[in-house]
Chain A
């Protein structure tokens, strides 16, 4: 158990809908990361937050947005969902924003039908 908690574990929704994925980082970790893993694209970095502020942005679509709240939990919002958004979404956390060990949660499986 990495200490990173993600909810929900599984989610099935229809195209065009909007969903929110939630992440609680390890106790004491200030940095949160979001990743997407699909069968054809592998793991991709989406976005990183550090202590509430956006730190780095990767291949995150404009239909997706994220935020980190004052209590350090984070949410990833996915809107206007398409079939291709079906993937495993991982949240991860680290104590700081630099070269630290990153701990991954178990992921949220999103299926868009």
Chain B
């Protein structure tokens, strides 16, 4: 069964600190992996998109990595800000060619002053 699992479920960090969120998937083969940021009650906002041939992709303070061999991805947030408080969702598209989207349950991040 195609699945996407994220860890941790929730995370609390202090402003200015770094953190790393994990995403493991069993979708195979897959077309691409996306990270989204979702504020409560709002629509998700795209952070990064990576195909199977890409290892890393950055968007400002957000850096995503992908290891297609181990089917793992991570999202690293540098110098966290209060506005980073949100849910971060990993989405894997597969099987290839059908563009179905399988969502992880997300990591809820809280950044404290």
Contacts and interface: CB of A to CB of B under 8 A. Distances in A.
Interface of A: 2, 4, 33, 35, 42-45, 48, 55-58, 88, 90, 92, 97-99, 101-107
Contacts of B106: 42-43
B103 A42 contact: yes
B10 interface: no
B105 interface: yes
A39 to B, nearest CB: 11
Contacts of B44: 43, 90, 104
Given A99-B31, A99-B32, A99-B51, A45 B45 contact: no
18 contacts: A42-B103, A42-B104, A42-B105, A43-B44, A43-B89, A43-B103, A45-B102, A56-B99, A56-B100, A57-B100, A88-B41, A90-B43, A99-B93, A103-B46, A104-B43, A104-B44, A105-B43, A107-B41
A106 B40 CA distance: 11
A90 to B, nearest CB: 6
Given A88-B41, A103-B46, A106-B42, 12 more contacts: A33-B101, A43-B89, A43-B106, A44-B103, A45-B102, A57-B100, A58-B100, A90-B43, A102-B34, A105-B43, A106-B43, A107-B41
Contacts of A58: 100-101
Query: What is the predominant secondary structure among interface residues of chain A facing chain B?
Result: strand
Given A43-B89, A99-B31, A99-B32, A104 B101 contact: no
Contacts of B41: 88, 107
A58 B2 CA distance: 12
* Interface core residue of A44, A98, A102, A106 (most chain B CB under 10 Å): A102
Nearest to A106: B43
B43 A107 contact: yes
B111 interface: no
B83 interface: no
Contacts of B45: 2, 104
Nearest to A102: B46
A43 B31 CA distance: 19
Contacts of B32: 99
